Structure 1
Amino acid sequence: GKTCIYERVFEGKKPWELIHQTATKGISYKDYEIGTMANPMIWDLGGQQQYLDEYHGPLRKNIFRKASILLYIIDITDYDRFESARIEFEWSVNQILSYNHNAKLNVFLHKSDLIHDKSSLVSHIKKVFAKNISHEITYHLTSIFDESLFKAWSDIIRELSPKSTFINSILKQLKNQKGVKDALVIEKSSGLACGSTIDEDEEEIIVGMISLLIVTIDKVTRTMELEKFREIKLKTDSNSLLLTEVNQDLILVIILLPEASDNTLLEEIEESGEEVTQQLRKLWIE
């Protein structure tokens, strides 16, 4: 499932295009650009024993020497392999921390859509995998069939980029504007959130759905050879969305409260949004 995870997000493949994906043989690595937010090089390591022997041997230094994030994938439906997965995880953690003491440890609990009682299983996995590790581990429930991957990858990209702290600070100023519920910045091609003011317990669904919306709009615009959009307003019964282009890579999304339907207040929010857009553009140039 490792290859499916990044192809779903970075290459825009649909779930049904990934169902018959073959297992990774050996090592594959790809460079991706998240606008100018980050340029991650992803090393995809096959999990079969014959390849594990290579990672433990002569390739070990090349793999871990410059790594800043360990992203470990667990098939949470494969109970019989939990113990072997734990052993390999501990070895991988020791390797990356030996080269980079500040490395981030992330575990994707993948295929979560197939598990009904997630809470007890996740609690068990966390207890088992953290048993011999004092370093902080971040866990993500993921599936290629829902928004969870976009939320998980958004978190990781924000860990990679020093700009994320400044982006969140700018967005918090906008959230303080009357009539604004939340604000976020989305990278257009991948749909990943570079910054967000949304509460963590709500972020997965909201960020995921808005990400899918923006990716779809971007693809439709290019497919139909339309001029790129600069601003879109979407109204629902309870809220409205104001989408504004920051630059060729980014979209500023403002989630409005019902009271923002007042024209005067909406104009004030749009002016504040333009100020935030200018700040973000300057940040991107720096």
Structure 2
Amino acid sequence: MSDQETTTTTTAGSGGLAGVTDGSIGGGPTTPTQLKKVKKQKVLLMGKSGSGKSSMRSIIFSNYLARDTRRLGATIDIDLSHVKFLGNLTLNLWDCGGQEAFMENYLSQQRAHVFSNVGVLIYIFDIESRDVERDLATYVNIILALVQYSREAQVFVLIHKMDLIPPTMREEVFVQRVALVRKKTAEAVAIFRKGSLSQSQQSQSSHLPQSHQQQSQPGATTSPTATLPQDLEIGMQLFATSIWDQSLYKAWASIIHDLVPNLAVIETQLASMGAAIDADEILLFERISFLVVSKWTSREGDNNPYGDRFERMSNILKSWKHTCSKFTGTPRNTEQFSEFEYKMGNHFSMFVTQFTANTYILVCMPPGEARFNSAKLNVAAVRPWFKFLDGPGSGTAVAGGGPVQSAYGTAGSNYQVTGS
């Protein structure tokens, strides 16, 4: 490490931000904003047996290392778990076994039970599968069941185990598979519309007098389209993933992002804080998984050429947490550090610190010791405006941000900065 590059870590229990208390600068929240209540989302995790469903779930939510997943066995039927994300989102996660007998049962006897009230379907395709056509046929049947019972559900398709494809071929293979999946999804929607049309015609015919039924033979006109889902659209996103790199964090951060309650409030607060402390970028991480909940980037930060830097930071900080666990002997799911600082000479400075009970925050900014120390003080000062992240009743939000007092200025002067 060069003389200009320094890293500082404060482990949990060592005091954190000494001498700074919540609300000690700028006072407390004054203008409450109506916040959404606790949100529960049913999430289906599906795919053929051995595709990697349980492995990725264990890495993201149970802090497994990629190499640890080798000892996981096959999922039997449905592994149901409740994952608390922040303080106001609970994921009702259904990890569905991928053996053929289970799949047939989901699509027949348990069809309504499994596919009703679904918020998100995450379907995993194993890129090394040798029976692609059969995998796609199963996928079509699952999409049909989903649109039958949970038409508004979002669909995320993960093309998994991409590390098994040579790097020079990955993009081409992924693009081909995406085209194939989109084609099959369109076919599933067409099948559903055709079935709906047939049922609608039969229903109308059974309620018409005999004379009208005769007129509805070929050559007559009926208009059942009013009851058909002509505007049916599958909200689908596709990702190339592997448990051995940061691609897994990119996919799951996208899945979680739209499910987080009060996201607009969080983004507004981060923007106000970022502008006030003159930061380049701010990332808000969930405490256990280190998935990016929200982010803010300045105009200068938008010039950063590394488009995958957010998921890279998730991966790096998760690895750092594992390292802390190894040397402290504490469980992986507990707090391993309270603060992390990194100063890269004249290039940039950054720090990661515990923010609320359920989050960590990363602040990246231009170099300068006064600017850096001011940002740390101000982040501590605005914690009361983000206590709503810990759940209902734990705090209120402030519309448009609150007053932030800055200790950064020329000749050590103090001045007041108000978030926009």
Give the TM-score normalised by structure 1. 0.86
1:129 aligns with 2:186: no
Q: Deviation string for 1:77-119 (max 9, x for gaps)?
A: 22x3322222222222232233333211101111111112111
1:192 alignment counterpart: 291
Identity %: 23
Whichever structure has more helix as a proportion of its residues is 1
Tell me how far apart the structure 2 counterparts of residues 285 and 34 of structure 1 sit (CA, whole Å): 10
How far apart, in 1, do the equivalents of 2:296 and 2:317 lie?
14
Secondary structure of 1:106's counterpart equals strand
Out of 343, 354, 357, the residue aligned to residue 245 of structure 1 is 354
CA–CA distance in 2 between the matches of 1:250 and 1:28?
A: 27
Cα distance in 2 between the residues matched to 1:95 and 1:212: 39
Look up the match of 2:376: 270
| Inter-partner Cα distance in structure 2 for 1:64 and 1:113 | 31
The secondary structure found in structure 2 opposite 1:66 is coil
1:143 and 2:193 equivalent?
Answer: no
1:52 aligns to 2:103 (yes or no): yes
Alignment correspondent of 2:317: 210
Considering only CA atoms, is the larger Rg found in Structure 1 or Structure 2?
2
Q: How far apart, CA to CA, are the structure 2 residues paired with 1:192 and 1:75? A: 23
Matched residue SS, 1:12 = coil
Task: Provide the residue aligned with 2:159 in structure 1.
Answer: 109
| Structure 1 counterpart of 2:330, from 223, 240, 257 | 223
Equivalents in 2 of 1:283, 1:16: separation in Å? 32
Residue matched to 1:87: 137
Alignment-mate amino acid for residue 110 of structure 1: H
Aligned AA (2:181): F
Provide, for residues 122-173 of structure 1, a one-character-per-residue CA deviation record: whole Å limited to 9, x for no partner: 1111111111434231112221112222232222122222233322222223
> How far 1:51 moved relative to its partner?
1.2
Partners of 1:231 and 1:95 in 2: CA distance: 47
1:147-205 Cα shifts (integer Å, max 9, x gaps): 22223222212222223332222222333346422111112222222112367543322
Q: Which amino acid counterpart does residue 81 of structure 1 have in structure 2?
A: D
Letter paired with 2:365: L
The alignment status of 1:77 with 2:77, answered yes or no, reads no
Q: Looking at both structures, which has the greater relative contact order when contacts are Cα pairs under 8 Å and sequence separation is at least 6?
A: 2
Separation (CA, whole Å) in 1 of partners of 2:98 and 2:336: 42
State the 1:276 CA deviation: 4.0
Which sections of structure 2, spanning at least 5 residues, go unmatched? 1-51, 187-232, 393-420
Report deviation, 1:272: 3.7
Q: What SS does the corresponding residue of 1:130 show, helix, strand or coil?
A: helix
Within 2, Cα distance between the matches of 1:46 and 1:249?
31
AA in 2 matched with 1:29? L
Task: Find the counterpart in structure 1 of residue 251 from structure 2.
Answer: 152
Contact 1:183 1:255 in 2 (8 A): yes
**Per the alignment, do residues 228 and 204 of structure 1 end up closer, same or farther by CA in structure 2, a change over 3 Å counting?**
closer
Instruction: Give 3-state SS (helix, strand or coil) of 1:40's partner.
Output: strand
CA contact (8 A) 2:88 2:389 kept: no
Could you tell me how far 1:70 is from its partner in structure 2? 0.3
User: Is residue 385 of structure 2 the alignment partner of residue 279 of structure 1?
Assistant: yes
Aligned to 1:235: 343
Say if 1:244 and 1:204 are closer, same or farther in 2 by CA, change over 3 A: closer
Q: Which runs of 5+ in 1 are unaligned?
A: none
Scaled by the length of structure 2, the TM-score of the pair is 0.60
Whether the 8 Å CA contact 2:349–2:364 is kept in 1: the answer is yes
- What secondary structure does 2:90 align onto? coil
Find the aligned partners of 1:213 and 1:189 in 2 and give their Cα distance: 13
Counterpart code for 1:236: M
Distance 1:136 1:219 in 2: 41
Are 1:40 and 2:91 an aligned pair? yes
Whole-Å Cα distance in 2 between the matches of residues 111 and 222 of structure 1? 31
Figure out how many residues of one structure are paired with residues of the other and give that number. Answer: 281
CA distance in 2, matches of 1:151, 1:183: 17
- Tell me how far apart the structure 1 counterparts of residues 78 and 264 of structure 2 sit (CA, whole Å): 33
What is the rounded CA distance, in whole Å, between the counterparts of 1:126 and 1:152 in structure 2?
Answer: 15
Distance (Å, rounded) in 1 between the aligned partners of 2:386 and 2:86 = 13
Q: Hey, what does 2:57 align to over in structure 1?
A: 6
Q: CA RMSD in A?
A: 2.7
Deviation at 1:26, TM superposition (A): 2.0
1:154–1:194 Cα contact (<8 Å) kept: yes
Alpha carbons of structure 1 residues 73 and 211: separation in structure 2 relative to 1, 3 Å: same
CA deviation after TM superposition for structure 1 residue 207, in Å: 3.2
Structure 2: distance between partners of 1:229 and 1:142: 28
CA gap 1:65/1:222 in 2 versus in 1, 3 angstroms = farther
Q: Distance in 2 between matches of 1:81 and 1:181?
A: 47
* Amino acid in the other structure paired with 1:239: F
Q: Which region of structure 1 is more displaced relative to structure 2, 38-47 or 62-71?
A: 38-47
* Deviates further, 201-210 or 28-37: 201-210
